[in-house]
Structure 1
Amino acid sequence: MTHTKMSRLYILVLGAFALGLDAYVMAGLLPKVAADLHTSESAAGQMVTVFTLCYALAAPVFATALAGRPARTILTTALLLFTAANALTALAGSLAVLLVARAIAGIGAGVYSPIAAATAASLAGEERRGRALALVMGGMSIGTVIGVPLGVLLADQVGWRGTLWLITALGALAVVGVLLGLPRLPAAPPPPLRERVRILARRPVAAIAGVSLLSGVASLGLYTYLAPFLADAGGIHQTLGAMWAWGAGGVAGSLLIGRIVDRTGKPYAVVTVILVLLCLAHLLLPSAAGASWALTFPLIVWGAAGWALQVPQQHQLIAARPDQAPVAVSLNSSAVYLGSALGSALGGVTLAAGVAPADLPYCTAALAAVGLLLHLVLVRAPRRARAPECLPRETAPAGDQ
């Protein structure tokens, strides 16, 4: 790959990094945001809900409306929306303004992400497509795993608004890079919403997407309220260590899962094991919170399971509907983000109803167990034989949520 092509890919990676940071850093900033806006943590947690909900539901509508325009135009529009929304978040003086800003940021992020991946694949050519996609997805993963703890650390020094100004600056840099560095490439239209709904009506696809949705509810439902959980369960008021442990597990899970699925050729069995580990990790969290060394293990397992799950899930989806693979995979992505939105919303409702933050992992473990039951009952094991052949390596994402 030429130096020019690589520099263009890194422009897309920068935008993906900003997206990954923005999507998850708000959970770490939750106590500071709630205190600054004089609201409860359960209410402030809805900023994560509206971001992920707009990513999952509203973004496909906007992406469809922009279909047919050059990729550079769509990417620039999405990044401008994302950047303006983060500036508004940094300036928000009330919860209402904050929620509106997070909704707009979610739309911008949801439009940018799939078009950036498609543009990277087009720039790289068929022989380098997998590496290009891995770079863009890796940017989002690094933004989450490394950027989030750094963002929280920055907030300790300059306040949570300072972290949002950093994300705004990253978005602005990405806008300049896209305008100056990307050629005019045609963008393939995203799958119409009607087609997504029609595919979802098929039982195998609906069951697999349902498992992804429940895993999203469990994972982000707890991650959004990680700070209150740590304070209540273990008297821990610094979330950085826990975020690093969770992030380290996420990196390991996203890097290793592809090889595991390829070598075993049994994505159904891999999903089963991952869901069991997710349940166990959440169940262990409350009792382990009293000691930092003991807490590290379930955090790492939780992070690894959450980021690893979607690769074998996509194998199963493509095996179930090889004729509609792109639609099925995009539907699964929407299910994950919808589950994330529901998780942060239900977590806030659960805490507002009087459930102690220390007990929240028991609720999320129960949801993960429901996902495991759905997987065992409605997702058929025989599909595992077809999955490896049906999924080109370049379609597998770097991670989860």
Structure 2
Amino acid sequence: MTRTTPAAVYLIAIGAFALGMASYVTAGLVPLIERAFSVQVAVAAQLVTAFTLAYGIGSPLFVAVLPARRQRFGLMCALGLFVLANAASAMVDDFALLLLCRALAGIGAGVYLATGIAASAAVSAPAQRGKAIAVIMGGMASGTVLGVPLSLLLAEHMGWQAALWLVALLGALAWFGLLLKLPAIPAGPQAAPGRKLALLAERKVLLVLMVSLLAAVASLGMYTFMVPLLADPAYGAVGNITAHLWVWGLGGVLGSFLVGPLVDRLKGPLLTLLIMLVLAVSLLVLPMAASISPWLAMLPIALWGAVGWALQVPQNNELLAMRDAKGDGNLAVALNESALYLGSALGAAAGGLLLLWQMPNWTLAASAGAVALLGAALQILNLQEGRAHACADVLESSGRR
């Protein structure tokens, strides 16, 4: 009999929706915050830096010291910190305090997503784990695509604080729901923090993290430069790319949700390879499609958004499968999320260099596609190593007989 997805998974996804909003809404609030606190735009933009650095660097450290038997407690504390930090961000009248609140929100968000993904897998049937993770990532994608425009619209009419109050409200709704519906999470093996960090020496883990990093360099890095590419007269001279951004985001939401059943049917590494190949092709053909028609460009943009967001479902599922039995599955997920933030920053920096060197705009998409192909090549190596290990296990098992 097929089990339905537990209610707790959807509640975790509501929290992920709020997290998706918080991760990207601050960038849209910078002009309003700049005026409210009378600071320069470069200073106000550091609110984004504080959140992302705390998320990418701080959250793995906190996840590493979280005891295996306190996963539910850690998830609830992380979500609680996220809610309180966003509420405090809406109330403070000092910019330094606001900066601190955004950093605390970033830590809470990172720890919550890592423990939430692990918890959703733990409370789901083995055959439903991929779908559960897809629901969480779909919630985060929906928060980015749907929640951010909604919260920015609210901020325009009611002030920048209203956007953060909305994030806090949704997070609080998820917190109270999980308090009632989230069961005890089975404790895995207890590993010392030092031993947990040793997973970075595991070749298979590093391969997965490197593929995620390269995918983020290609996908999220190129997202930063969609405007200059499509604004180029050679590629459509699009004055307002809002429609294209919506297509990218909606593709991401669909990809995040639809990849779940595939994860439960296909081997994760093979699915990751297919996704990386589609990502590479969609980025490489984007300038050609845009040169024909900006409307035709929406097709590779939709595919790019779909696979870019979908990738993390098989990646996180693979990491949990590899590391859960060793007691550091949630840390592996946290490191994977950190790889995404680092990859996004590297991609943005690399694209900025290309523009600084006055390279043609098509090189932005071509370089991103080349990075995705490099990630696909690395994934082929991952597949080959997996097959070699499987053959070795079969031979070892035969020898014991």
The two structures share one fold, judged by TM-score above 0.5: yes
Structure 2 counterpart of 1:52: 52
Structure 2 counterpart of 1:174: 174
CA distance in 1, matches of 2:82, 2:218: 26
Equivalent positions of 1:359-374 (< 5 A) are 362-363=363-364, 366-367=367-368, 369-373=370-374
Query: Structure 2, unaligned stretches of length 5 or more?
Result: 391-401
Q: 2:253 aligns with which of 251, 272, 290?
A: 251
Equivalent positions of 1:55-204 (< 5 A) are 55-68=55-68, 70-91=70-91, 96-124=96-124, 132-182=132-182, 185=185, 187-188=187-188, 194-195=194-195, 197-204=197-204
Q: Deviations over 1:107-126 (max 9, x none)?
A: 10122223333444454555
Q: 2:280 aligns with which of 276, 282, 299?
A: 276
Shift of 1:53: 3.2
Shift of 1:79: 1.7
CA distance in 1, matches of 2:128, 2:354: 51
CA distance in 1, matches of 2:213, 2:177: 34
CA distance in 2, matches of 1:387, 1:249: 35
Q: Deviations over 1:77-127 (max 9, x none)?
A: 212210122124334667654443322112101222233334444545557
SS of structure 1 residue aligned to 2:295: helix
Which deviates more, 336-345 or 78-87? Answer: 336-345
Which deviates more, 155-164 or 378-387? Answer: 378-387
Q: Check conservation: 2:215, 2:375, Cα contact below 8 A.
A: no
Q: Which amino acid aligns with 2:254?
A: A
Q: Which amino acid aligns with 1:296?
A: M
Normalising by structure 1, report the TM-score. Answer: 0.72
Query: Do the aligned partners of residues 353 and 126 (structure 1) sit closer, same or farther apart at CA in structure 2, a change above 3 Å counting?
Result: closer
Normalising by structure 2, report the TM-score. Answer: 0.72
CA distance in 2, matches of 1:164, 1:267: 37
- Whether 1:307 and 2:293 are equivalent positions in the alignment is no
CA distance in 2, matches of 1:53, 1:297: 33
Equivalent positions of 1:308-327 (< 5 A) are 308-311=310-313, 313=315
Q: Which amino acid aligns with 1:297?
A: L
Q: Check conservation: 1:51, 1:106, Cα contact below 8 A.
A: yes
CA distance in 2, matches of 1:358, 1:22: 34
CA distance in 2, matches of 1:180, 1:119: 15
Q: Check conservation: 1:212, 1:335, Cα contact below 8 A.
A: yes
CA distance in 2, matches of 1:36, 1:23: 21
SS of structure 1 residue aligned to 2:67: coil
Query: Do the aligned partners of residues 33 and 273 (structure 1) sit closer, same or farther apart at CA in structure 2, a change above 3 Å counting?
Result: farther
Q: Deviations over 1:300-340 (max 9, x none)?
A: 13212311333555687789x68978857853652443342
Q: 1:293 aligns with which of 288, 292, 295?
A: 295
Q: Which amino acid aligns with 2:18?
A: A
Instruction: Name the larger-Rg structure.
Output: 2
Q: Check conservation: 1:18, 1:171, Cα contact below 8 A.
A: yes
Query: Do the aligned partners of residues 258 and 127 (structure 1) sit closer, same or farther apart at CA in structure 2, a change above 3 Å counting?
Result: closer
Q: Check conservation: 1:55, 1:106, Cα contact below 8 A.
A: yes
CA distance in 1, matches of 2:362, 2:154: 28
Which deviates more, 203-212 or 89-98? Answer: 89-98
CA distance in 1, matches of 2:215, 2:98: 27
Q: Check conservation: 2:218, 2:347, Cα contact below 8 A.
A: no
Q: Check conservation: 1:248, 1:300, Cα contact below 8 A.
A: yes
Query: Do the aligned partners of residues 160 and 192 (structure 1) sit closer, same or farther apart at CA in structure 2, a change above 3 Å counting?
Result: farther
Q: Which amino acid aligns with 2:255?
A: G
Q: Which amino acid aligns with 1:114?
A: A
Query: Do the aligned partners of residues 289 and 110 (structure 1) sit closer, same or farther apart at CA in structure 2, a change above 3 Å counting?
Result: farther
Structure 2 counterpart of 1:25: 25
Query: Do the aligned partners of residues 134 and 45 (structure 1) sit closer, same or farther apart at CA in structure 2, a change above 3 Å counting?
Result: same
CA distance in 1, matches of 2:62, 2:323: 27
Q: Deviations over 1:15-38 (max 9, x none)?
A: 222122222333454555556666
SS of structure 2 residue aligned to 1:245: helix
Structure 1 counterpart of 2:341: 340
Query: Do the aligned partners of residues 290 and 47 (structure 1) sit closer, same or farther apart at CA in structure 2, a change above 3 Å counting?
Result: farther
CA distance in 1, matches of 2:335, 2:157: 35
CA distance in 2, matches of 1:279, 1:99: 35
Structure 1 counterpart of 2:398: none
CA distance in 1, matches of 2:216, 2:203: 20
Query: Do the aligned partners of residues 260 and 69 (structure 1) sit closer, same or farther apart at CA in structure 2, a change above 3 Å counting?
Result: closer
Q: Check conservation: 1:216, 1:336, Cα contact below 8 A.
A: no
Query: Do the aligned partners of residues 113 and 245 (structure 1) sit closer, same or farther apart at CA in structure 2, a change above 3 Å counting?
Result: same
Query: Do the aligned partners of residues 175 and 213 (structure 1) sit closer, same or farther apart at CA in structure 2, a change above 3 Å counting?
Result: same
